[in-house]
Structure 1
Amino acid sequence: MEFFLDTANLDEIRKAQAQGLMDGVTTNPTLLSREGGDWRRQAQTICNEVDGPVSLEVVGTTAEEMVREAEDLATFGDNVVIKVPITSEGLIATKALYKKGVKTNVTLVFSPLQALLAAKAGATYVSPFVGRLDGISIDGMELISQIRTIFDNYEFPAKILVASIRNPLHVLDSALIGADVATIPFSVISDLAKHPLTDKGLEQFNADWEKLTK
């Protein structure tokens, strides 16, 4: 499973890259706004520094607006993936961008039927939001399982990109189900290697080493 970092913060991107844990980046207007300054310069810098895919989101509401914005964003680099919402207009834009050879990430997916429509429209990635479903007492991981079954049934090339990840268990469940990608906040990706028994073991090894060197 690939790990994308869900951020627009360059320090987080550089740390994750140094750890070898990052295969790409997903951004959105909210994440870019948190960084302040010129969003275009920030997005361009991210595209320059990241080897893998970088998702940049359109904000238009009509297919024409989305396609126009997507063509602009695509100039930031060959690794740009356009985030498009799962709306009727978004599906039209996704199909148009597919025909132009522009990669897309259809976002804000909350049902298996939405995922099916996105795949049929030619999406490169489909992003179901598990954390937001969990927040309203719906099992987000069941959605991932349903999408995996549908995509496998019909051999859709679209990749399942699990989004709105809130904890390491979401990452584990996504991997067990067979999701292609998980886009993970830096705080969660930093927790993946942690375990209390690892800390305890290191503490014991260090204490024993101190005895040996006295």
Structure 2
Amino acid sequence: MRIYHASVALDDVRWAFAAGLIDGIVATPAVIAAQLPNADPRELVQELSTAVPMPVIASVRAVNRDELYKGARELTRLGEQVIVAIPLVEDALPAIKRLSAEGVKVAATLVHNAAQAALAAKAGASLVTIAVDAAAHVGDDPSLAISESRLIFDRFGFECDVIAAGPASARAFTDALTAGADGAVVSTDVLKALLQHPLTDRGFDRFLGEISRRPRPRRPK
């Protein structure tokens, strides 16, 4: 299981890395705009790449095949472990194929069903991200898209990970993993929320009460 941290705040990234919770960072335009709107995206990706030894998923700011390819190659020069995020539109497929042939890892985004995931994997994507939060908002079942994608990848031998993007709760996170997702993209708030449970809080309070009442050992005279 791989967890990709949707954060560009270095303090949050270092906390999650030190805790052993994350396997990569997501530095897409939406994440950058929400947390560091005045930052230069390229400089930020480079800084993140040197701050922690793990992959950084960064987006190409283009939509046609030539610009997608050119932008992707520019991003890979910012760090050895950069994974290029490319939206799965028609023009993206030739760019994904070319980049994959050159050893560049591509994360296909805006994938919402298994048919799209299969085409992305066939073109050479290393990851497909299925937007769990977006699917739930329109009444779709993201678990079905995840499980069907995983089944297709396994059947045809595609070396491509299925990543659940944006599960907003422990239940959604668990559903994605049990459906066959290889990992998930989560924010700092969700990552910390996954640690929480009311019974854990209650048990911890009881534990604190017990150790406070425990008699202290007497020191030998």
> Does the pair score TM above 0.5?
yes
1:112 corresponds to 2:114: yes
Amino acid at match of 1:144: I
Q: Which residue of 2 aligns with 1:134?
A: 136
Gaps of 5+ in 2: 217-221
Q: Which residue of 1 aligns with 2:60?
A: 58
RMSD value, Cα: 1.3
Which secondary structure state, in structure 2, belongs to the residue aligned with residue 3 of structure 1?
A: strand
Amino acid at match of 1:123: A
Match of 1:148 among 116, 132, 150: 150
Distance in 2 (CA, whole Å) between partners of 1:76 and 1:211 is 56
For the pair shown, which has the larger CA radius of gyration, 1 or 2?
Answer: 2
Distance in 2 (CA, whole Å) between partners of 1:141 and 1:213 is 52
Distance in 2 (CA, whole Å) between partners of 1:89 and 1:9 is 32
Q: Which residue of 2 aligns with 1:171?
A: 173
Which secondary structure state, in structure 1, belongs to the residue aligned with residue 152 of structure 2?
A: helix
Give how far 1:70 is off. Answer: 0.6
Gaps of 5+ in 1: none
Give how far 1:50 is off. Answer: 2.5
Distance in 2 (CA, whole Å) between partners of 1:102 and 1:148 is 22
CA deviation profile, 1:4-60 (whole Å, cap 9, x unmatched): 101222121111112110111112112123302322221111111232211110121
CA deviation profile, 1:45-85 (whole Å, cap 9, x unmatched): 11112322111101211110011011110011110000011
Q: How does 1:10-29 map to 2 (within 5 A)?
A: 10-29=10-29
Aligned residues: 214
Amino acid at match of 2:110: L
Amino acid at match of 2:215: T
Distance in 1 (CA, whole Å) between partners of 2:213 and 2:130 is 52
Which secondary structure state, in structure 1, belongs to the residue aligned with residue 91 of structure 2?
A: helix
Q: Which residue of 1 aligns with 2:219?
A: none
Distance in 2 (CA, whole Å) between partners of 1:33 and 1:196 is 33
Q: Which residue of 1 aligns with 2:31?
A: 31
- The 8 Å contact of residues 165 and 185 in structure 1, kept in 2 or not, is answered as no
CA deviation profile, 1:180-204 (whole Å, cap 9, x unmatched): 1211111111011211111111111
1:8 corresponds to 2:8: yes
Aligned-pair identity (%): 32
Which secondary structure state, in structure 1, belongs to the residue aligned with residue 155 of structure 2?
A: helix
Give how far 1:131 is off. Answer: 0.8
Q: How does 1:75-90 map to 2 (within 5 A)?
A: 75-90=77-92
